Amino acid sequence: MHGIFLQSLARDFLGERLQREANHAVAQLEQDQTAVPTALDSVSQGYQVFHHLYVLRFNGSVNASDPQWQQQLAPLLDESGDALIDVNRGTQHMLVYRRHFEWQGTQGVLLVGEDFSQVEAGLATLHWWVGGIAAVLLGMLIILNMLAVNRGLIPLWQLRQQLEALRSGKRDRLSLVAPSELDELVDQLNWFMDDIDLRLKRSRESVANLSHALKTPLAAITQVLRGNRPIDENRRHKLLSRIEDINAQLAAELRRSRIAGPNAGRMANVTRDSSRLIEMFRSLYPERIFNLTHSAHEKDQVPIEAHDFSEILGIVLDNAGKWSNRCINCDIAVSTTTLTLTTDDDGFGVAEEDLSRLGERGTRLDERRPGYGLGLSILAQLIARYSGHSRFERSPLGGLRVTVTLPLAVEVIN
């Protein structure tokens, strides 16, 4: 493209110069009033400065400054119109401009030509120089680019080495001197490792608690089954009670193990998830009336893991449905910074002095309804994972009001 552009530019420039020279020759002919062959003779003093080839046909005669080209260019004299023409002879490339004119009532044709081969040779030399300089610059750019890329990848190589050290247990956190663009990546990786450590710690604690909780009832059951005493109705009832406790403990630990916590990647849809739960509890407690209000102001998705949101709402609804007489009101309010669940029931309520004990693991303040006192303790763990808080108080309906407030770490989106 570079060569074609330069050659076209040079051809246009030379063609324009030949045209101006032809016009000048014709104008001088009209001014000098001399004989045409003499006026346009290339060896005359007026045209020696141009060093161009001239071929003139006027009044039936043809004159040329170079007889070798007269025969070659003669056919161009018979063509009409002024034009710039390329003429090739061997390796020589001649650029010729044809100019028709009229002098003293006689038509004439003037050809002015110049050897374009020398210009092309010069352009070819220029192309080689430009190509050589471009190749050198390209090589330098490639080398500089490789050096820059290698320098830019140094932090990533260090990161890979530190990740391998983490995997082999040689270090427990990333400590990388990296460009500011990688700070967020390093922070996120450290956050994930902290979260994994926390999950591992919770899992170990959960297994230890479960083992401790099951050890006593399993030992009692084993002792009874290995004994020689007959299992009467009273002992059978106690065994069933023990087994049900074990089943409740297993179910509770399973629910705790499903707690994902914040930033788990799945957002809850408040309207969809709460509506499904309300419908489910209406079928579980057909004699109860569940009322749901949602004041989210067109913002429906919150950065709370969907299963965690369903677990929180399910615990408070199940607790209200279990202890209410007839009516349960549930209000969900979502703002840009918090999500608030408020549940009221019209049951017996809880004595003022016992409100602070709600949520303690295994605590049952009232045993008139079936249960194991584990739901509210799981609720407390869920709320703690989201750095939220809960409040228990007397409801305007006469029963218990449970208010759960969760901060929204990420801005609520539509």
Sheet holding 400-407, edge to edge: 289-295, 327-334, 338-345, 400-407, 389-394
Read off the tokens for 68: 């070798």
Q: How many CA atoms lie within 13 A of 326 on its CB side?
A: 2
State residue 212's pLDDT score: 80
pTM of the model: 0.53
Q: What is the pLDDT of residue 49?
A: 43
Q: Which residues pair with 100 in a beta bridge?
A: 109
Q: Write down the mean pLDDT value for the chain.
A: 81
Choice among 40-49, 138-147, 219-228 with the minimum mean pLDDT = 40-49
3-state secondary structure of 35: coil
**Cα separation of 171 and 157, whole Å?**
16
Three-state DSSP at 102 gives strand
Q: Which of 312, 323, 307 is nearest to 371 (CA)?
A: 323
Residue 182 has pLDDT above 70, yes or no: yes
pLDDT at 41: 54
State pLDDT tens for residues 241-262.
888 878 877 877 777 777 777 7
Residue 280 has pLDDT above 80, yes or no: yes
What pLDDT is recorded for position 161?
Answer: 87
Per DSSP, what are the bridge partners of residue 333? 295, 340
For residues 372 and 244, give the distance between their C-alpha atoms in angstroms, rounded to a whole number: 10
pLDDT at 45: 46
Tokens of 191: 């956050």
281 neighbors 320 (Cβ within 8 angstroms): no
What is the pLDDT, as a whole number, of residue 27? 82
Of the two residues 180 and 57, the one the predictor is more confident about is 57
Three-state SS at 406: strand
Q: Which of 316, 292, 298 is nearest to 400 (CA)?
A: 316
- Helix, strand, coil percent values for the chain (each to nearest 5): 55, 20, 30
Confidence at residue 372, expressed as pLDDT on a 0 to 100 scale:
58
Has residue 57 got a pLDDT over 60? yes
pLDDT of residue 2: 67
